[in-house]
C-alpha cells in the first residue's frame, strides 16, 4: 500500500510539471515582441521628384490602409525603368516611369498576432491603396499631383524581420576598449628603440623606389571609337557630335549626318541595339520629292509653348540641359518632351504634319502623342492609322 501511495504521488508531480510546461509555453506565445513588417506596391503616373517631395502622403496612405499609426510607418520610394525596343522608325527609349513604394511598419505584438497581421496585409489590393493615396493627397492639398496616379499592384512581398538594434552602447564600449588598446600600443612604441624607426623609414623608401620603377599600366581613353564606326561622320551642323556622341543615347541613332547618312548606318557599333529593319524598307520607298522632305525632317523646331507640367519655367531649353533624363518628362498637355522638343532630344521629325483624325482636323499627331496607347490606332482622314502616319508619337507602342 505504501508503494502504491508513493507511485500515485509521483504521477501527480509529473502532471503538475506538465501543466507548468504548458503554462510557460502559453506565456511565450503571448509574449510581446517588436518586429518590422516590410512590404511594397507599384505605382505609375507621378514623377519621382513629386513623389519624393510628398513622402508624407505615402506615409499617411500606408497608415490608412494598413490600419496603424503614422508614427509606425516609414517609406522608401525607388524608380524602376522599363525599356522597349520596337522596329522601324521607332527607337528604344524610357517609357513612363514605374515607382516602387517600399514601406515598413513597426509592430509591438505577440508573435502570432504579427504573423496574422502580415497575412492580412498581403490581402490588401490596388483599390484600397489607390483610395488611401487619394484621400491622403486631398488632405495634404496636393490632389492635383496625384490625380493621374495608377496603382499597378496590391501589397506584395510581405516580410517580417527583427528591427535593427541600437548599437550605440556597444559601439561606445568598443570605442573605450579600442582607445585603451591604442594607448597601450603607443606606450609600447615609446618604449621601443630608435633603430626600429630607422628600419621603417628604410622600408618606406624602398616601397617608394619600387613604385617609381613599376611600369605604368596602359590606359585607354574612355571615348574610344569602335573599329566599325565611321571616324568622319558627324551630325549635320555640328562636327563635335560623332559616333561616340551617338553611343551615349540610343535615340540619336536616328539622327542624320552632314552627308545625309543616318547615324545607325555610319555607327553600327554605337547603335548595336537599334532596330532599323523597317527604316531600311521605308528609305527605299517614295519619290525624289519625298526624299527631299525626309532630308529636311532633321531640321525640326522645338515647341515654344511646351513646358513641364506644373512648372512654366521648364521649357525645351530646360530639357536640352539634361536630355537623357528630361526627354521622358510629360508636359502640361501630357505631350512627351521627346515629341515637343525634337531638337533638344535629337528625335527625328517623322510624323506627318498633314495627318489628322477622320472628321476632326484638330486631332493631329500631337493629339495622338498624349494618349498613344489608344490613339495610335485611330483612323485618319487619309484612311491611314495613327501609328502609320505618326511613328514618332507612337514610339514604343506594340502595333502587331
Q: How many CB atoms lie within 10 A of CB 30?
A: 12
- pTM assigned to the model: 0.37
| Mean predicted confidence (pLDDT) in 210-222 | 40
Helix orientation angle between 55-66 and 126-140, rounded to the nearest 10 degrees: 130
Q: How far is CA 186 from CA 32, 175, 190, 196, in A?
A: 48, 16, 6, 14
Domain ranges of the chain: 32-161, 223-299, 301-337, 350-400
Give the tens place of pLDDT for each residue, 118-141. Answer: 888 889 999 899 889 999 988 888
**Cα separation of 341 and 304, whole Å?**
9
User: What is the rounded average pLDDT for all residues in the chain?
Assistant: 71
Give the tens place of pLDDT for each residue, 70-95. Answer: 889 999 988 764 433 333 333 333 33
Query: Poorest-confidence range of 162-166, 242-246, 379-383?
Result: 162-166
User: Which top CATH class is 32-161?
Assistant: alpha beta
Contact in structure between 327 and 319 (CB atoms under 8 Å): yes
What is the SS3 assignment for 312-329?
CCCCHHHHHHCHHHHCCC
pLDDT of 237 > 80? The answer is: no
Give the tens place of pLDDT for each residue, 186-207. Answer: 555 545 444 444 555 555 555 5
Show Cβ contacts of residue 2 under 8 Å, excluding neighbours closer than 6 positions. Answer: none
Amino acid at each position: 500500500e505504501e508503494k502504491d501511495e508513493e507511485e500515485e504521488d509521483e504521477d501527480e508531480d509529473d502532471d503538475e510539471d506538465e501543466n507548468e510546461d504548458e503554462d510557460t509555453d502559453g506565456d511565450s506565445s503571448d509574449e510581446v515582441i517588436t518586429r518590422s513588417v516590410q512590404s511594397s506596391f507599384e505605382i505609375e503616373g507621378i514623377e519621382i521628384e513629386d513623389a519624393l517631395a510628398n513622402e508624407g502622403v505615402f506615409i499617411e496612405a500606408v497608415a490608412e490602409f494598413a490600419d496603424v499609426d503614422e508614427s509606425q510607418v516609414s517609406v522608401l520610394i525607388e524608380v524602376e525603368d522599363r525599356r522597349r525596343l520596337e522596329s522601324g522608325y521607332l527607337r528604344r527609349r524610357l517609357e513612363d516611369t514605374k515607382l516602387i513604394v517600399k514601406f515598413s511598419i513597426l509592430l509591438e505584438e505577440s508573435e502570432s498576432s504579427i504573423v496574422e497581421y502580415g497575412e492580412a496585409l498581403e490581402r490588401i489590393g490596388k483599390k484600397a491603396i489607390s483610395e488611401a493615396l487619394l484621400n491622403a493627397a486631398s488632405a495634404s492639398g496636393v490632389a492635383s499631383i496625384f490625380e493621374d496616379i495608377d496603382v499597378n499592384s496590391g501589397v506584395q512581398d510581405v516580410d517580417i524581420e527583427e528591427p535593427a538594434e541600437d548599437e550605440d552602447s556597444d559601439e561606445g564600449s568598443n570605442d573605450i576598449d579600442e582607445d585603451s588598446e591604442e594607448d597601450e600600443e603607443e606606450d609600447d612604441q615609446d618604449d621601443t628603440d630608435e633603430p626600429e624607426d630607422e628600419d621603417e623609414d628604410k622600408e618606406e623608401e624602398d616601397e617608394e623606389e619600387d613604385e617609381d620603377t613599376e611600369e605604368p599600366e596602359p590606359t585607354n581613353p574612355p571615348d574610344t571609337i569602335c573599329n566599325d564606326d565611321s571616324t568622319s561622320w558627324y551630325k549635320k551642323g555640328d562636327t563635335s557630335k560623332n559616333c561616340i556622341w551617338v553611343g551615349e543615347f540610343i535615340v540619336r541613332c536616328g539622327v542624320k549626318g552632314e552627308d545625309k547618312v543616318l547615324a545607325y548606318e555610319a555607327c553600327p557599333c554605337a547603335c548595336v541595339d537599334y532596330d532599323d529593319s523597317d527604316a531600311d524598307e521605308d528609305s527605299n520607298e517614295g519619290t525624289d520629292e519625298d526624299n527631299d522632305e525626309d532630308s529636311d525632317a532633321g531640321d525640326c523646331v522645338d515647341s515654344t509653348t511646351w513646358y513641364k507640367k506644373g512648372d512654366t519655367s521648364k521649357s525645351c531649353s530646360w530639357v536640352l540641359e539634361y536630355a537623357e533624363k528630361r526627354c521622358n518628362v510629360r508636359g502640361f498637355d501630357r505631350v512627351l518632351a521627346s515629341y515637343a522638343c525634337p531638337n533638344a532630344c535629337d528625335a527625328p521629325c517623322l510624323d506627318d504634319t498633314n495627318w489628322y483624325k477622320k472628321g476632326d482636323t484638330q486631332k493631329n499627331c500631337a493629339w495622338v502623342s498624349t494618349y498613344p496607347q489608344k490613339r495610335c490606332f485611330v483612323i485618319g482622314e487619309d484612311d491611314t492609322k495613327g501609328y502609320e502616319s505618326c511613328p514618332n508619337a507612337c514610339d514604343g507602342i506594340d502595333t502587331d
